[in-house]
Amino acid sequence: MQYLPPTDQQRVYRMVERLARRDPRFRGRLDAAKARVEREAEDYEDWLVRQAEERSRYLMEDVP
């Protein structure tokens, strides 16, 4: 979906939201998937920060 033009992405988003309004079980699964994606993005950001900290610590070890 990321390769679609923005207008088509918006159409797909609206269609999925319309389906979710009509089907509560689908809404639950959709919300759970969105929460999982947000959590994974936060975990990735935390990992990147840790990597940057470790790299800067490693680089500073060689400095007298």
Write down the domain spans for the chain: 6-61
The answer to whether the pTM exceeds 0.75 is no
Residue 5 has pLDDT above 70, yes or no: yes
Tokens 């509560």 sit at which residue? 24
Q: What is the pLDDT of residues 10-38, one digit of tens each?
A: 999 999 999 999 999 999 999 999 999 99
Cα–chain center distance at 34: 8
CA–CA distances in Å: residue 61 to residues 49, 54, 64? 19, 11, 8
List the end-to-end C-alpha distance of the chain, in Å, as a whole number: 51
